[in-house]
A and B are shown apart, each in its own frame.
Chain A
């Protein structure tokens, strides 16, 4: 029997590791504007925006088990909400932004209510239908510029902080703030009893009903949260480019969102973030190597679904726990 010397330093458990990594990651992210060039900063901004979008989708997909093929509509709501409120109706930005978020959450709840009775596959098609409906409505609406969309979407006036939000770096930090706040809040929500109920609904809804949970309410809640987070992403996206078009609501954006969640690993919290990062960076990088990114992503998608269910986050976990795993033998 070989004796193992116990080294009494910080235990290398997975949880501590995760916390360490999170702190490091946040630190790195904050350093970005000071270290990288403009293009990389804008990529970073895009990663965060799509990470939020993917997190929103994952609330339904990973936690509740419902595939939404129409989540792009919230991107559109985020963009058009701000556009209509501030450009058409003249609201100040600090009022229009929270109002848009509220609209997104309410719309999510409404759609959740409408989809309560349908099965998962009907849900898939119904959400697609809703997003097409909304997209069609905005295409036809002359007031919002039809397919040309609306321009002139404002960014917050940060003059009182002494900075200009049209500056790349400042905008990155602005998005980072939203990202951190929303992600942290979402983390707390999903790791609370509420989140456990959602997982229960995913695994076996009838059992949850039998246990006495009003699953309908939880589902509506999940929808509202999911819609809210995706709307935040949509609003930031519109502020980034300065305009909103019906393109944002096309189902290709919905498909891309699902792609991000799946590749990142839908059974984890951080999966969507990793997936979004991977997707944005790989797409940008692939563009230099090959034109055929559709095929590559499709194949990747299939491989992840078939072979590597836990996606990128699972991969990271495996690497992280390698040491501790071996030590246990």
Chain B
């Protein structure tokens, strides 16, 4: 055979193959396999038609899918309303530096929910959790979301004082009640008080001034150490007022750059040179770990005792602090050894649900929910009048794990008693030991309600 013949042969075979495969492709969806120029163009044209249509469909479906997702994400959902539940917006800093405080706080809240079986006066309690990121701007935005998208009846929680100040004003403006569970800044129920804001924890002054007076009985002089920002000044200021009030002398006030300092060496050296009888300090989170550990590393722990509160000596940090925390004494509002029925019941329920004992944050969470639920109960489940809800709460008086629980006229929880705890070593674990209970201090004035 000559070359031409072979070529002709191939050509014919190819064309035959080509038409067969095109036929199969168009009518049976078989993939086109043979490659010829005609094939290419035909493939393109056919695909083109298909892609033209598919592209249009794709555009439309992408656009509508995106829109649908966006709308769905922004809460355009309607909650089916059967028996209307009581809606509570629990705002806590679930992410960030205070995350572990928030988690423990929420666990205390859950115990209260369990206690009421999740409903009051026949209405279910629905809790919406939102993350404040300990950022006032984010918190206000989340609170707005809770109010508008979920129509919550009341807000609760709040760890950080900054957020507390912001949401307090938000609450008074929007006329939605907020039950603050930590946020210890004095101004919240002082200068910024209002009929829609009520705090179940305590004010910084009332916690630390009582402790200040107590320590003035044992020590003539003291130095203080704290972070240079509003809450730090509030806590230390309260201590100073109490300590001085009972005749003590504050040798020096030392302030560290908030969230910036990591090495307390120089400050500790300064404190030592003042030779106080004791040191009082307030810190939270990672700074607490650093201060307590470095205090011990520099050998100050045994010569000058370091006193603080339940955030400096936060129980969840004891593991990280290790030996440095042993012997540390601090003031707190709740303790495992407090002997009353409410406390025993709470500890029992907490142990059963979580397999461990509650820390101060869990206590505060529980005592945040409890008055709220009691007030709703007293109102028979009717939460439509916000101011009335707050007023009812204020009028409550009952037994709580912390002792006798009441509010004052500034809508702030009164600290009847506070407790002094010492950290002791029990085997390879650290445990709290109640060594004293003393009177709580009073709030600073400033509320004109």
Contact = CB atoms under 8 A, between A and B. Distances in A.
Same complex: yes
Interface of A: 2, 36-40, 42-43, 46, 136, 139-140, 145-149, 151, 237, 241-243, 245, 247-248, 281-282, 284-285, 287-288, 291, 293-294, 319, 322-323, 326, 329
**Chain B interface mostly helix, strand, loop or mixed?**
helix
A2 B49 CA distance: 14
B59 interface: yes
Contacts of B161: 148
A245 to B, nearest CB: 5
Given A46-B141, A147-B162, A148-B185, A139 B229 contact: yes
A329 B51 CA distance: 13
Contact of B55 (A43, A145, A281, A323): A323
A257 to B, nearest CB: 14
A270 B424 CA distance: 61
A282 B141 contact: no
B273 to A, nearest CB: 25
**Chain A interface mostly helix, strand, loop or mixed?**
helix
A121 B228 CA distance: 31
Interface in B30-59: 44-45, 48, 51-52, 55, 59
Interface stretch (B143-151, B328-336, B374-382): B143-151
Contact of A241 (B136, B187, B230): B136
A146 B230 contact: yes
Contact of B130 (A46, A151, A287): A287
A38 B257 CA distance: 40
Contact of B230 (A37, A42, A148, A243): A148
Interface in B144-179: 144-145, 147-149, 161-162, 165-166, 169, 173
B131 A247 contact: no
B74 to A, nearest CB: 5
Nearest to A289: B73
Contacts of B136: 149, 241, 243, 245, 247
Interface of B: 44-45, 48, 51-52, 55, 59, 62, 69-70, 72-76, 94-95, 130-131, 135-137, 140-141, 144-145, 147-149, 161-162, 165-166, 169, 173, 185, 187, 192, 228-231, 233, 257-258
A237 to B, nearest CB: 7
Given A241-B136, A323-B55, A294 B95 contact: yes
Contact of B135 (A46, A247, A288): A247
A39 B74 contact: yes
What 8 A-B pairs have minimum CB-CB distances, sorted nearest first? A285-B73, A39-B148, A38-B148, A39-B149, A147-B229, A147-B230, A148-B230, A241-B140
Contacts of B185: 148
Contacts of A242: 169, 173
Given A46-B141, A136-B257, A247-B135, 15 more contacts: A36-B74, A36-B76, A37-B75, A38-B148, A39-B74, A39-B147, A42-B144, A146-B233, A148-B187, A149-B165, A151-B169, A245-B166, A247-B136, A287-B130, A291-B94
Contacts of A282: 73
Contacts of A248: 137
28 contacts: A40-B74, A43-B145, A136-B257, A140-B228, A147-B229, A147-B230, A147-B258, A148-B161, A148-B187, A149-B165, A149-B166, A151-B192, A237-B137, A241-B136, A241-B141, A243-B166, A245-B137, A245-B162, A247-B135, A281-B70, A281-B73, A294-B95, A319-B59, A319-B62, A322-B55, A326-B51, A326-B52, A329-B44
